Amino acid sequence: MKRVLACLLFMLSAASVLAQGAAASPGLAEVRALGLLNGEALACKQMALVDRIRQRIIYEAPKTREVGETFENATTERFLALGKDGSTCTDTRAMAERIEQASEAMRAAFADVMGRKQ
């Protein structure tokens, strides 16, 4: 009986965690896209673009652990990948356009959460 109760409690807590993750998941792909762009901008020493991305994340995304971790993990992933594969840096203007597109997508994804109209 104790095992059954323990299993039920574990399953309920796991379901709760999964439900919370599913609720926070919209917009994470867009956050990841900005994180990848941030990693590239850092690796290419385009600090003005890094500042622009950072401002977008700070002011236009929910302040949750999941958003922060997604952004940081994507940034690290791209930064390290550029160091390993020896890719050339994207033109600053093209990178700025990609940042604007990713920012708009993130803004739309989080419009309800952040209390903005689309």
pLDDT tens-place string over residues 67-91:
999 999 999 999 999 988 878 899 9
Give the confidence band of 58 by pLDDT, cuts at 50, 70, 90.
Answer: very high
Using a pLDDT cut of 70, give the percent of the chain over it. 77
In this prediction, residues 19-24 reach a mean pLDDT of 46
Average pLDDT of the chain is 83
Number of Cα atoms under 13 Å in the Cβ half of residue 38: 25
pTM summary value: 0.75
Q: What is the pLDDT of residue 10?
A: 47
Give the confidence band of 117 by pLDDT, cuts at 50, 70, 90.
Answer: low
3-state helix, strand, coil in the chain (%, to 5): 80, 0, 20
Is pLDDT at 11 greater than 60 in this prediction? no
Q: Which amino acid is at 32?
A: R
C-alpha 46: how far from its chain's center? 19
